Amino acid sequence: MKKTYKIDVDCANCANKMEEAAKKTAGVKDAGVNFMTLKMWVDFEDGTEPGSVMKEVRKNCKRVEDDCEIYL
């Protein structure tokens, strides 16, 4: 299942870091961040609950870039 989320982040490199962090989160099959449209799409593994996975994704993103936000 693929979902798109609105994000907020200030620099392009930070967006790349968020992408990396999201990809590495458990339950995420693939993910991408579009800095220009400020959107993140996440493809979830089958049988996972997007809500709880996204909480982890947000936590991991905040770890690499403190000044970011994902609107769940």
Partner 1 sequence: MSKKQKKVLVRILVAALCMAALLLLPLGEGPLRLLFLIPYLIVGYDVLLKAGKGILHRQVFDENFLMAAATVGAILLGEYTEGVAVMLFYQIGELFQSYAVGKSRRSISQLMDIRPDYANIQREDGSTERVEPDEVEIGTLILVQPGEKIPIDGVVEEGKSTLDTGALTGESLPREALTGDEVVSGCVNLTGVLKIRTTKAFGESTVSRILDLVENASSRKSRSENFISRFARYYTPAVCGAAVALALLPPLGRALIFGLAPEWGVWVFRALTFLVISCPCALVISIPLSFFAGIGGAGNAGVLIKGSNYLEALSQTGCVVFDKTGTMTQGVFEVNEIHSEGMERDRLLEYAALAESYSSHPISKSLQKAYGKSVDRNRISDVEEISGNGVTAVIDGVPVAAGSRKLMERLGIACGECEEAGTVVYMAVDGSYAGYILIADRLKPHAKEAVAALKKAGVRRMVMLTGDRQEAAAQTAAELGLTEVYSGLLPGDKVDQVEELLRQKGRKEKLVFVGDGINDAPVLSRADVGIAMGALGSDAAIEAADVVLMDDDPLKIAKAIRIARKCMGIVYENIYFAIGVKALCLILGAVGIANMWAAVFADVGVMVLAVLNAIRALSVKKL
Contacts to partner 1 by CB under 8 A: 10-13, 16, 32, 34-39, 41, 63-67
Q: Which residue, 55 or 64, is less far from partner 1 as judged by CB? A: 64
> What contacts 42, CB < 8 A, 6 or more positions away?
2, 3, 4, 5, 22, 28, 30, 31, 50, 53, 54, 57
Give residue for tokens 């870091």: 17
How far apart are CB 55 and partner 1 at their closest, in Å?
A: 17
Q: 70 - beta bridge partners?
A: 7
Q: Which residue, 49 or 71, is less far from partner 1 as judged by CB? A: 71
How far apart are CB 27 and partner 1 at their closest, in Å?
A: 20
Q: Which residue, 20 or 50, is less far from partner 1 as judged by CB? A: 20
